[in-house]
Amino acid sequence: MRLGFTDILRRLSPLAKLGLGIVAVVFLVAIFAPWLAPYPLGHVDVTHQLEGPSMAHPLGTDENGADLLTQVIWGSRVAVMVGASVVGICSTVGITLGAISGYFGGWIDEVIMRITDMLMAFPGILLAILLIFITQEPSLLAVIGALSVTGWSSYARLVRGEVLSEREEDYVEAARSIGYKSPHIVFREVLPNVLAPVIVQATFGVAGAILAEASLSFLGLGPQDMPSWGALLDQGSTYFLLTPHLAIFPGVAIMITILGLNFLGDGLRDLLDPRGLTRHGN
Amino acid sequence: MLRYFVRRLAASVLVVFGVVTIVFFVVRAVPGDPVASILGEQALEVDKQALRQCMNLDEPLLEQYALFWGDVLNGTFGELCGERGATVADKLVANIPATLQLAAAGLGVAILIGIPLGVVAALKPYSWIDNTSAVLALLGISIPNFWLGPMLLILFSLTLQALPNPGSSVAGLSALILPAITLGTAMSAKLMRMMRSNMLEVLNKDYVRTAAAKGAGRSRVVLKHALRNAMIPIITILGLQFGALLTGAIIVEKIFARPGLGTLLLDGIQQRNYMIVQGCVIFISLSYVVVNLLTDLVYGSVDPRIRYD
C-alpha cells in the first residue's frame, strides 16, 4: 500500500503530530534566529555575568555576560544544519550504494558490505572523534563531514536488504523483459518500493546526528565557529554548582528536540515500517 | 555450526585489519609536525631528532605501517617515546579497570531497570504501568547522558548533599552510583522496549499456551517458559549496546572527572599525542568487535537456527 504525504499526516498518532509540531518549531526558530533572539549574537553585558533568569535575560547569562536565550536560539541553527545535512548526505550515499549492492550482488556487494562492516566496527562517535582530531579547529563543515563518513552504512545495509528481497519480484522481471536498463530498474522501479523504512530510519537519523554533534561539542570537539547546544552545556557544566541554569536550559533544548523527533519517528514507524526494520539512531 | 563460527571469525579478522589500517592512515593525515606538537616548537634539534627516530617518522609511510602492525601484534601499540621505556599499552592497561568498572556498573543499572520493567509491561499491556514505563523509556532514550549527568550532580550533590562531589576524594562505591545511572539510563530504556516486545511475542506462542494448558502456574509459565526464550534476542542487543556503553563512558568520565580510557583519549587529543589517540581508538574498537563476535557466537550456540550468510 502506498501512502501519500497528506495520508501520512492525517494518520499520524497524536503523539507523532506533537513530535512533528516540535520539529517544525525548532526548524522555524533556526531559520528566524536573528529576529527571534533578544540580543545580537556576541553581545556581552559585563555587568551581568553568571546571572540567573531575569526579565532582561529570560534564561540568565553566562560567565562573559552573554544572554543564554540568544545562544540557545542560535544553537538551534547548528542542530538543524547538522541534522539535515548529515542525514541528507548519509541517506543519499547509503541508498545509492545499498541499492547497487543489493541489486547487482557479486563482488560489488562484497566490497560495499565489507566497508560497512569496518565502519560499523567503530562504536558510536569514536570514528568521528578520530576524524575531527585531524582538523585542528573543527568547523561546522568538519563535524558534518565526520558524521557523514561514518553514518551512511546503516542506510546502505537497510536498503540492500530491502532490494535483495524485491529483486526477485515479478514487476522487476517484467521491467527487465521489456528491455529497461539496470539503473532504471534499480532507481525508478525498485527504490520507490523500499523507501518507507528509509524515511523512518532518516527521522531517527536526524535525532542521532543532533545528539552526536552535541556529544562532540560537549567533549570540546564540536564546531568552534558557531554556538552549539552541546558546547553551551559543556561551558555550563563548569559552573553548575554556581549557576545550574547554564547547564539546564541548553540540555532542555536538546531533549525537547530529540523527544520530538523520536515521537515523530515512532509514529512514522507504526505507519510505514510495520515489520520494525529500523532502529533508533542514537 | 563450526562452519558458522569459522566464517564469523574470518569476517572479524578482516574487520580488525580494516580498523587498524583506517586508524593508522587517518592519524597520519593530521597536519603539522607531530614531534613539534609533543615537544613544542622551542625544543632542541637533538631531542626532536631522537623522538623522530623513536617514532619511526624517518621511515617511508608503508614501512611505518608495517612496523605499527608489529607493535599491534606484540600488544604494545607502540613505544611512548616521550617517556622512557613506557608503551601505549601501559597507559591503556592503567586505565582499563576504571572504564570496565564504569561500563559494568552502567550495564548493571540498564539490566536491573530495563528487564523487569519490560517484563511487567508485557504482562499487563496497556495498563498504567505499561503506559508509564513507555513514557519513561521515551524520556530515557531522548535525554542525552551529558545532560543527565550534570542534572544528577546538581540534584544530589547540592540539594541532598548525599553523594560525594566529583572533586572530592571520597572513594568507593558511592562515587560509582551517579556515573552508572548516567551511563545506563538510555540503555535501560532500549532494553525495556525490546524486552516488552519480545515478551509479548513469546507469550502468544503455542508452547506458552501449552505450558499454561497443562496446568503450570502463572509464575512458572512466565519465568521458565516465556522469559527464557524472550531473553535470547537480548544477547544481541547487549553486544550492540556495548559500543554505546564505551562511547558513553568517554562522556561520563568527562562529566564526573573519572579516570579511564575516555579521559586518556581526550587528554591525548588535547596534547595532540597521536600514539595515545591511535592506541585508544584501536583498543576501544577492537574490544567492541570482540564483544560482538562473542555475542554472535553465544547467540549461535543458544539458538541453532541462526546461520551466517
Q: Please answer whether residues A108 and A100 qualify as being in contact, where contact means their C-beta atoms are separated by less than 8 angstroms.
A: yes
CATH number for the domain that contains residue B293: 1.10.3720.10
Q: What is the mean predicted confidence (pLDDT) over A90-106?
A: 94
Q: Which of A139-143, A242-246, B97-101, B111-115 has the lowest mean pLDDT?
A: A242-246
Tell me A193's DSSP state: H
Higher pLDDT, A90 or B159: A90
All domains in chain A, ordered by first residue: 23-34+61-274 (1.10.3720.10)
The rounded distance, in Å, linking the Cα atoms of A157 and A76 is: 30
**B187 part of a folded domain:** yes
Tell me if A214 and B146 make a contact (CB, 8 A cut-off).
Answer: yes
Name chain A contacts of B266, Cβ cutoff 8 Å. Answer: 219-220
Distance (Å) from the alpha carbon of B204 to chain A's nearest alpha carbon: 17
Domain carrying residue B299: 89-308
Tell me if A244 and B154 make a contact (CB, 8 A cut-off).
Answer: yes
Residues 6+ apart with CB under 8 A from A136: B31, B32
Instruction: Report how many domains make up chain B.
Output: 1
Residues of chain B predicted below pLDDT 50: 169-172, 308-309
**Furthest CA-CA distance within chain A:** 77
Q: Please answer whether residues A30 and A76 qualify as being in contact, where contact means their C-beta atoms are separated by less than 8 angstroms.
A: yes
Question: From the DSSP assignment, how many helices (H) and strands (E) are in chain B?
Answer: 13, 0
Percent of chain A with pLDDT over 70: 96
pLDDT tens figures, A179-197: 898 888 888 888 888 888 8
Q: Which residue does chain B place closest to A236, by CA atoms?
A: B150
B203-233 b/e (C-beta count within 10 Å ≥ 16 → b): beeeebeebbeeeeeeeebbeebbbebbbeb
What mean pLDDT value characterizes chain A?
Answer: 88
**B51 part of a folded domain:** no
**B75 part of a folded domain:** no
**Furthest CA-CA distance within chain B:** 85
pLDDT tens figures, B72-120: 998 889 888 766 778 899 999 999 999 999 999 999 999 999 999 999 9
**B60 part of a folded domain:** no
**B251 part of a folded domain:** yes
**pLDDT for position A275:** 65
The rounded distance, in Å, linking the Cα atoms of B48 and B38 is: 9
**B181 part of a folded domain:** yes
Confidence label for A282 from pLDDT (cuts 50, 70 and 90): very low
Name chain A contacts of B282, Cβ cutoff 8 Å. Answer: none
**B18 part of a folded domain:** no
**B177 part of a folded domain:** yes
Q: Which of B18, B30, B186 sits opposite A118 (nearest CB)?
A: B18
pLDDT tens figures, A9-24: 888 888 899 999 999 9
Q: Please answer whether residues B229 and B172 qualify as being in contact, where contact means their C-beta atoms are separated by less than 8 angstroms.
A: no
Q: Which of A121, A136, A241 sits opposite B19 (nearest CB)?
A: A121
Name chain B contacts of A129, Cβ cutoff 8 Å. Answer: 250, 265, 269, 281
Residue with cell 520507490: A192
Tell me if A215 and B14 make a contact (CB, 8 A cut-off).
Answer: no
Name chain A contacts of B274, Cβ cutoff 8 Å. Answer: 133
SS3 call for B124: coil
**pLDDT for position B31:** 78
Confidence label for A156 from pLDDT (cuts 50, 70 and 90): very high
Q: Does residue A7 surpass a pLDDT of 70?
A: yes
Q: Which residue does chain A place closest to B256, by CA atoms?
A: A237
Q: Does residue A74 surpass a pLDDT of 50?
A: yes
Percent of chain A with pLDDT over 90: 49
Tell me if B285 and A220 make a contact (CB, 8 A cut-off).
Answer: no
Q: Which residue does chain B place closest to A135, by CA atoms?
A: B30
Distance (Å) from the alpha carbon of A106 to chain B's nearest alpha carbon: 13
For A60, phi then psi, to 5°, come to 90, -175
Name chain B contacts of A124, Cβ cutoff 8 Å. Answer: 243-244, 246-248
pTM for this one?
Answer: 0.90
Q: Which residue does chain A place closest to B197, by CA atoms?
A: A276
The rounded distance, in Å, linking the Cα atoms of B258 and B141 is: 24
Q: A111, A125, A130: best mutation site toward chain B, by most B Cβ within 10 Å?
A: A130
